[in-house]
Amino acid sequence: MASPLQGKNIIVGVSGSIAAYKAADLVSQLRKLDAEVFPVLTRGGAEFITPLTLQTLARQPVAADLWSEGNGWQPGHVELADKADLLVVAPATADVIAQFAHGLAPDYLSSLHLVARCPVLIAPAMNGKMWTHPATVANVATLRGRGVHFIGPEEGMLACGYEGVGRLWPVEGIVQEILTLLASET
């Protein structure tokens, strides 16, 4: 029996949150379901998890630097976006959400987002005050209005020591949402 993600190309964007370490589990679980996983790591994300970890688990190189991408004539972020069935950003910081909402493209992940025509799933992780700030609320509403899917964040103890909303949704739940989104696309 074919695995539910066999033949699916999933980009996993990882931004600068302490929850970035959970991206390793996400990549691993997606690979176990036979997805082809392409990690994209922001500069902030690389402060929390190494490219080598993601590369080893994904069995693909990690895209991180917009200015040193690809070996062919086509820009790597465009080529990757063209073959993607889904773009998942987990964890997604307030900064990445704002870049996406405002069409900014200062790095590989945000540039890839602008050219991607596949579904997008964002799993936020940040301080609760950042999540509930009017700017973030407006940015999320903008992206939802464009058809971007969100999962979480959940409530609990945050890295900053506060209790509240802002934790990355459990990896198993993110995987289930990926399965649901991709099933509805076929």
| Percent of the chain whose predicted confidence (pLDDT) is above 70 | 94
CATH of domain 9-185: 3.40.50.1950
In this prediction, residue 73 carries a pLDDT of 44
Cβ atoms within 10 Å of 56's Cβ, excluding its own: 14
20-42, pLDDT tens digit by residue?
Answer: 999 999 999 999 999 999 999 99
The label of the residue with tokens 């939802």 reads 144
Active site members:
160
Query: What Å distances lie between residue 64 and 38, 116, 120, 144, CA to CA?
Result: 11, 16, 19, 26
Q: Where are the domains of the chain?
A: 9-185
| Tally of CB atoms within 10 A around 147 | 8
Banded model confidence at residue 186, pLDDT cuts 50, 70, 90: low
- pLDDT, one tens digit per residue, over 84-110 is 999 999 999 999 999 999 999 999 999
Structure tokens that stand for 155 in this block: 């409530």
Q: Is residue 2 pLDDT above 80, yes or no?
A: no
pLDDT in tens, 117-126: 999 999 999 9
Contact 102, 84 (CB under 8 A): no
Give the C-alpha separation, 13 to 96, whole Å: 10
Q: What is the pLDDT of residue 159?
A: 85
pLDDT in tens, 67-84: 665 555 455 778 899 999
